[in-house]
Structure 1
Amino acid sequence: MLRIAFLGTGDIGLPSLEALLSKQGHDHEVVAVVTQPDKPVGRKQVLTPPEVKVRALAAGVPVLQPERIRNEVEKLKGLQADVFVVIAYGQILPRTVLEIPRLGCLNVHASLLPRHRGASPIQAAIREGDAETGVTIMWMDEGLDTGDILLPVPIAIDPSDTGGVLHDKLAALAPEGLLRALAMVEQGTAPRIKQNDALSTHSRKLERVHGKLDWTRPAKELALLIRAYNPWPGTYCLLPAVGGAPALQLKVHQAGVVPDAEACPTPGTILRADDHLLVSCGQGVLDLTEVQLEGRKRMSARDFLQGRAAEVGMVLA
């Protein structure tokens, strides 16, 4: 049996926490959950706890929510944990924290390391057109996802996967790998496989501005970007003013590449605006199939075109 402290904030860690709490197929004990402080959420800024906190309290597990984990070394030592399991915690762990658990700190990272280290590996895998991704159970060090690999668990990326869909698939995949890794740690057979830094890539923290569509890029790249950034941070362009109405932001939720289509010399030009919304790109043509006008609900391009004039020849910014 291992005494485990679970460090996590994002929903991607919920299935793994649930697997640890359920004790199905193992007898490990979760001695505490460490998560970020409650945050204001929504227009009314209601103070809301992370879901991992809610689940931990329901199971009677103590919860710590330090503003800075580096200031809670003594409390963490008091847990007498054998292993820290870290999944999307949201703070960098300094050496003083990494050295606390008897057997080390394990991180569950949502990519096949060393590819896509960093904050947005799920979106990066789709955006870059990868055929597969997965989760990697790794030994933590002070670097950014640079520690030795314990266990990779691969999964194919379906051509229809969005960032949100793939997030949920990886969340569901993680518990199996984590429990296998913990069994090896307990038995003293867990490997430490050095990462090849020469093969590493970095995925930055995403902001809304990163979803701005650059029509000079090839249609294939933009289609991948739209899939990858659905639902966060989303992708958008600017619909020009029509009939006295102001220019408005147009979110693009779904799009596909039009096979063998000839693009207009001016990227961003609307080529068709009836039951399809076709837009010229730097290379090729994109078919916008689901959109959302600023202040409105999301809808099919066909419904959108019935409600607002979007003419052939307009150029989207």
Structure 2
Amino acid sequence: MRIVFMGTPDFAVPSLRVLLEEGYQVVAVVTQPDRPKGRKRVLTPTPVKEEALKHGIPVFQPERMRREEAIRQVAEYQPDLIVTAAFGQFLPKAVLDLPRFGCINVHASLLPKYRGGAPIHHAIMAGEEKTGVTIQYMAEGMDTGDMISKVEVPIRDEDNTGTLFEALSAEGAELLRRTLPDLLAGRTQAVPQNHAEAVLSPNIKREDELIDWSRSARDIFNHIRGLSPWPVAYTTWNGENFKVWAALPPGTESAPAGKEPGTVLSLTDGGLEIACGAGRLLLTEVQPAGKKAMPVSEFRKGTAMVPGTVLGR
């Protein structure tokens, strides 16, 4: 059994580890090219590449998997199975057809909901109460292949994209551990997706990060935690971006009548209270332009922001 593993971020590392722990022969790892990171733009390997090199596994980093040379390189590894997890590139049919056991993907949602590159962000932002991981056969479409196995994970108010990322990463790896023996023994029966129920979750764009204070406090709360700790939701104040890292779950109290959405109602050590289109929201961690993220108790020391200030103008 020759397995080629394809993955890129931290999310994929536990799945690679499971393959190694279970004694499968991972003959190669395919991951995205090294990218510059940080203010100094240091060329940095992907987390999956770092893990592969620890175990002496050959690493291949194609810029585009659809190129002939990339397809030829993967074919030379003669995979019996290809396992992917957050790889970040489409696989052409020529690659999908290579392994006799097919290509399977560890996807961080309960398909067919949240197909695409940002399923965790979108599930939280949409206010879902649960999500999960689906292991599916890969097809030429975006996460459209038949489903092999699933596991559900609740979404709590205290969750954000960071905490859920870690939870789904671990759950996905364990689901892979349980699924592979039956798959390789021919004991699984894949289920086609109901495409009419499909929901897309494209990569987050800059315009998706902007807070719309005319929405309800609950919607904005979900928006903030769905974008934390990356890429982080923001509003504007004094003509500059003002990032919002965290807020408390909103209660049932409504905003004072006549207050424009985005109006600062109060500023205390306990938080920055903002009027929303429906209700009010208490922000607890913010980041003014040019500064680091900080709790509101620190932000309020010496700030010019006062009750009555309107954010987002």
Q: TM-score, normalised by structure 2?
A: 0.95
Output the amino acid matched with 2:36: P
| Residues 254 and 278, structure 2, Cα contact 8 Å, conserved in 1 | no
Q: Within 5 A, what are the aligned runs for 1:7-18? A: 7-18=6-17
Q: Among residues 262, 267, 276, which one is paired with 1:281 in the alignment?
A: 276
Superposed CA offset, 1:237-258 (max 9, x none): 1112xxxxxx432111111224
Match of 1:248 among 240, 253, 257: 240
What is the CA-CA distance between 1:132 and the residue it aligns to? 1.1
Match of 1:46 among 23, 42, 50: 42
Q: Which runs of 4+ in 1 moved over 6 A?
A: none
Match of 1:101 in 2: 99
Match of 2:302 in 1: 307
Q: Are residues 1:268 and 2:262 paired?
A: yes
After superposition, the C-alpha distances for 1:215-261 in whole angstroms (9 at most, x for unaligned) are 11111100011011001120111112xxxxxx432111111224313
| Farther off after superposition, 250-259 or 219-228 | 250-259
Instruction: Measure, in 1, the Cα distance between the counterparts of 2:47 and 2:268.
Output: 44
What is residue 136 of structure 2 aligned with on the other side?
A: 138
Q: Is the 8 A contact 1:210 1:233 kept in 2?
A: no
Q: CA deviation at 1:125?
A: 1.2
- Name the SS for the 2:104 alignment partner: strand
Letter in structure 2 aligned against 1:223: F
The sequence identity of aligned pairs, in percent, is 44
Corresponding position of 2:29: 33
Q: Any idea what SS the aligned residue of 1:306 has? A: coil
Structure 2 counterpart of 1:219, from 217, 231, 234: 217
Q: What amino acid is aligned across from residue 220 of structure 2 in structure 1?
A: L
What code does the residue aligned with 1:274 have? T
Query: Unmatched 5+ residue regions in structure 1?
Result: 241-246
Q: CA deviation at 1:82?
A: 1.0
Q: Which ranges in structure 2 are unaligned for 5 or more consecutive residues?
A: none
In structure 2, what is the Cα distance between the partners aligned to 1:38 and 1:108? Answer: 22
Partners of 2:286 and 2:252 in 1: how far apart?
Answer: 21
1:307 Cα deviation after fit: 2.3
d(CA) in 2 for partners of 1:287, 1:159: 14
Q: Give the distance between the partners of 1:274 and 1:73, measured in 2 at CA.
A: 59
Distance 2:251 2:303 in 1: 23
Does 192-201 or 290-299 show the bigger shift?
290-299
* Aligned partner of 1:192 among 187, 190, 195: 190
Deviations 1:21-75 (A, max 9, x none): 223xxx3110100011111111111111112111111211111111122222222
Q: Deviations over 1:61-102 (max 9, x none)?
A: 111111122222222122111110011111111111100111
TM-score by length of 1: 0.93
User: What letter matches 2:14 in structure 1?
Assistant: P
